[in-house]
Every structure is written in C-alpha cells, then in structure tokens.
Amino acid sequence: MNPRFRIPADILRSLFTARPWAALALLGGLAGCSSPRDGALEEFSRWHDNARAQAQAGALSWSELYKQSFDRLTALPPSLQQDTRLENTVLLLSMARKFEANEISAQQFAAERSDIESQLQARLR
C-alpha cells in the first residue's frame, strides 16, 4: 500500500460507525483515483503484447518496439510501476541497439531480453 494514501484505522472506524455515507463517498473517491492509472497501464500492456508479437515476427524492429514503449510509458501518469517499466525499457532498448548493430549475437540478445523481462515481472509482483 502506498503510504500517501494510508488512512488511520480509527478515522475509518469512526466514519463507518457515525457516517456510513461519508465512508462510502471516501472509498468511492479513493477507488476512482486509482482507476485511470490502472486503465492506462492495462492499455499499455495490451499494446506492448501486440507490438512484442510483431517484433518476434520480424515486422517491427526490437529497438523500435522499445523506443515506442519508452514514449508511451513517459506519457502515462507517474507510478512506481511506470518507473520500473521505464528502467527496464531503457535496458532493453540498449540491448536491442547492440543486437541490431551486430555487437551481440541473437542468442545473447534473447538471453539478455529474457533475463531483463523476468526481473521486470518479479519486480511488478
């Protein structure tokens, strides 16, 4: 839980017992605050999955995938998940450029990409 949004238990308890309508309004407001960010990240994930499939099929270069990912991520509302994804995208873009410049082999690129993506998934859990 993000400490910026932490509400002391005694305040919540008093809201639920004394003013249940106020508690519902508060909870609805808090839920509404997180919704656009979650929707934007879900939309990004759908786009990324499609673009990744294109890169795997050779229809899109890997460096272009990660460049577009970076551009789309920086347009999202700030969040820890956005920061984590941006950090990994920069690493992946660097690896893709090395691969496309023949500085690393396809096997090295695949191994590095897999490792970075696995680390990303672990950090997002």
Closest to 105 measured CA to CA, from 115, 114, 95: 95
pTM of the model: 0.68
- Give the end-to-end CA distance of the chain in Å, rounded to a whole number: 13
Cα 28 to Cα 37: distance, rounded to the nearest angstrom: 15
Predicted confidence (pLDDT) per residue in 53-85, tens digit:
999 999 999 999 999 999 999 999 888 889 999
Provide block-wise average pLDDT over 10 residues at a time, the chain (125 residues).
Answer: 55 56 49 58 93 96 97 92 93 97 97 94 88
Are 73 and 44 in contact, with CB atoms under 8 Å apart?
yes
